[in-house]
Amino acid sequence: LETSVLVTTDLLNRGFDVPEVACVVNYDIPNIRGVSLHESYYHRTGRAGRFGRPGIAVNLICSSTDEQSYNEIKQMFSINSIKITSQNEQELYDFLLPYIKESESEVELPVNTAAPANTEAAPSDQS
């Protein structure tokens, strides 16, 4: 399985299009000075699932402030999400599988027995 990865900051969250981005991983919930939480999140996750293509945003929630902000974002955009912990990693695999391009080889995700930070995965439908 082969994929391309773009690592960037919030500097590229507007006016920049990378074709066929299927997944955006938010290391943190966006907090850009002078820009609303909702607008920041919309533009950051809008890199995935553009122009009717499927997309997903994975949000790493590491603090109660991030969790509160993400709950506000979920309510604003009517986002359905699943919370992933070390107890339900198979659910994450099943959720992500449709977004992984077909490959001749079998896709296998490693199982991490360490307790990860809370992770929220939500479909991205911004265009």
Rounded-to-integer distance, Cα 109 and Cα 94, Å: 11
Rounded-to-integer distance, Cα 76 and Cα 93, Å: 27
pLDDT tens across 20-33, in order?
777 888 888 887 77
Task: Tell me if 37 is assigned to some domain.
Answer: yes
| Interstrand relation of 118-123 and 56-61 (parallel, antiparallel or unpaired) | antiparallel
Range list of β-strands (E), the chain: 23-26, 56-61, 82-84, 118-123
**How many domains does the chain fold into?**
1
Task: Tell me if 5 is assigned to some domain.
Answer: no
The two three-digit tokens of residue 51, written as one number: 């122009």
Task: Tell me if 1 is assigned to some domain.
Answer: no
Task: Tell me if 2 is assigned to some domain.
Answer: no
Identify the residue with better confidence: 65 or 83: 65
> Which range marks the domain in which residue 42 is found?
10-123
Say what the pLDDT of residue 45 is: 81
Say what the pLDDT of residue 103 is: 42
Task: Tell me if 40 is assigned to some domain.
Answer: yes
Q: Which residues pair with 58 in a beta bridge?
A: 25, 121
CA 67 to chain centre: 14
Task: Tell me if 111 is assigned to some domain.
Answer: yes
Task: Tell me if 56 is assigned to some domain.
Answer: yes
- Confidence (pTM): 0.60
Q: Which residues pair with 60 in a beta bridge?
A: 119
Rounded to the nearest integer, the mean pLDDT of the chain is 71
Say what the pLDDT of residue 58 is: 84
pLDDT of residue 73 exceeding 70: yes
pLDDT of residue 59 exceeding 80: yes
The CATH number of the domain where 87 resides is what?
3.40.50.300
Task: Tell me if 48 is assigned to some domain.
Answer: yes
| Interstrand relation of 56-61 and 23-26 (parallel, antiparallel or unpaired) | parallel
**DSSP states along 73-91:** HHHHHT---EEE-GGGHHH
Say what the pLDDT of residue 5 is: 65
